[in-house]
Structure 1
């Protein structure tokens, strides 16, 4: 009735629905041949759907999305590599940022909590782009190259964007549908944590719930308070600059700890 009253019609050839199924279930029996009826239209189930360029699969593990990003970025990296010797480093960096980095950063918040394998595949693309710009062989370690280019690794890029969205939501600069998901922490009695600008972490019982924005935003925002006072900055540009420096310092500490334990226990 609502569609008819607004002069909207369903295109049967372009309409599909996605049943979300846990990996422990028999996905083949639940997806294949499953249909629903909406009015006179018959809609067939699909194993993955595309929304705003993002491929969402029936397990919500985003393997299909990561595979599409890897294919596109690998294609462009090969073509950029063919002309890289004719371009200065600044131009190569701009081209890579415009083509490769934009693909890695597009809707990457959805990849929060995804598998290590998915993150590793994207990180290999990121490392290849850094080696291409700096003209380094494949055997060179990628972390020093990322530091030279001042690039955050893929996991930190995902967390950076989520925290940036959270900052906007806390300060009232985000869309209402995001601001409504952020709830300030108000303890039942007077505690020191009441003045720490914390957020309430919603309790969930499934992994998909832990990866949602309402949980990820509050979790990352509260952890940020433990390490620094970045949240006190009122300017978004200053906040993002200090946040990026904060991530680089954490990576540097982890690298130093790894070198120390490697030398001590080897």
Structure 2
């Protein structure tokens, strides 16, 4: 930073140490640290490109925040749903909530099933609002009419899509270097 004549803004600088409680406790003696005459300490959670990362890397805080945001939009859609046709309601639901369910969802690949179930409840609630289904109707009926994959399969689909694009275009190189196409055992 000194060579580039940059100044550190301690109020805007954040960093996080990710690990177990015992791993993080081993580093407690190193903080606060001083960088360019500014005191900085690790934050318990940081946000990067709309994703909240916490110290234990379990995404619980991120899921809580996003589910709260999703339900806010679902309540708004529920209030005005009667004024729209099915196709318009489906488009609005996709724009407001479903597209956000897919944003960075590949990070949630090995997240606990109970946390993925929270996102599935969001999708189920959204589907009921769009289809104007009764509260206790079986889930399979209204989800089939929307052609929406369950959240777990959306995550897998996203990872497969990214992997396929990386293999096909050889871009980005850092990702392409970690992948190798499957070989047919009969060759």
Q: Could you state the TM-score of these two structures normalised by the residue count of structure 1?
A: 0.64
CA distance in 1, matches of 2:175, 2:23: 34
Are 2:82 and 1:85 equivalent residues in the alignment? yes
Cα-to-partner distance string for 1:162-208 (whole Å, 9 max, x where unaligned):
0001101111253222212213467xxxxx5275xxxxxxxxxxxxx
Are 2:141 and 1:149 equivalent residues in the alignment? no
Q: How does 1:74-153 map to 2 (within 5 A)?
A: 74-153=71-150
CA distance in 2, matches of 1:32, 1:77: 46
Q: Give the one of 170, 182, 190 matched to 2:167.
A: 170
Are 2:4 and 1:6 equivalent residues in the alignment? yes
| Corresponding residue number in structure 1 for 2:185 | 193
Decide whether the 8 Å contact of 1:19 with 1:31 is kept in 2: no
Q: Could you state the TM-score of these two structures normalised by the residue count of structure 2?
A: 0.90
CA distance in 2, matches of 1:87, 1:116: 34
CA distance in 2, matches of 1:30, 1:169: 37
**SS of alignment partner, residue 34 of structure 2:** strand
CA distance in 2, matches of 1:16, 1:40: 16
Cα–Cα, structure 1 residues 29 and 4, in superposed 2: closer, same or farther, change >3 Å?
A: closer
Decide whether the 8 Å contact of 2:32 with 2:39 is kept in 1: yes
CA distance in 2, matches of 1:97, 1:157: 14
Structure 1 or 2: larger helix share? 1
Cα–Cα, structure 1 residues 32 and 110, in superposed 2: closer, same or farther, change >3 Å?
A: farther
| Corresponding residue number in structure 1 for 2:63 | 66
Cα–Cα, structure 1 residues 133 and 44, in superposed 2: closer, same or farther, change >3 Å?
A: same
Decide whether the 8 Å contact of 1:31 with 1:47 is kept in 2: no
Decide whether the 8 Å contact of 1:32 with 1:45 is kept in 2: no
Shift of 1:22: 1.6
Matched positions, count: 187
Cα–Cα, structure 1 residues 113 and 194, in superposed 2: closer, same or farther, change >3 Å?
A: farther
CA distance in 2, matches of 1:66, 1:30: 27
5+ residue gaps, structure 1: 187-191, 196-266
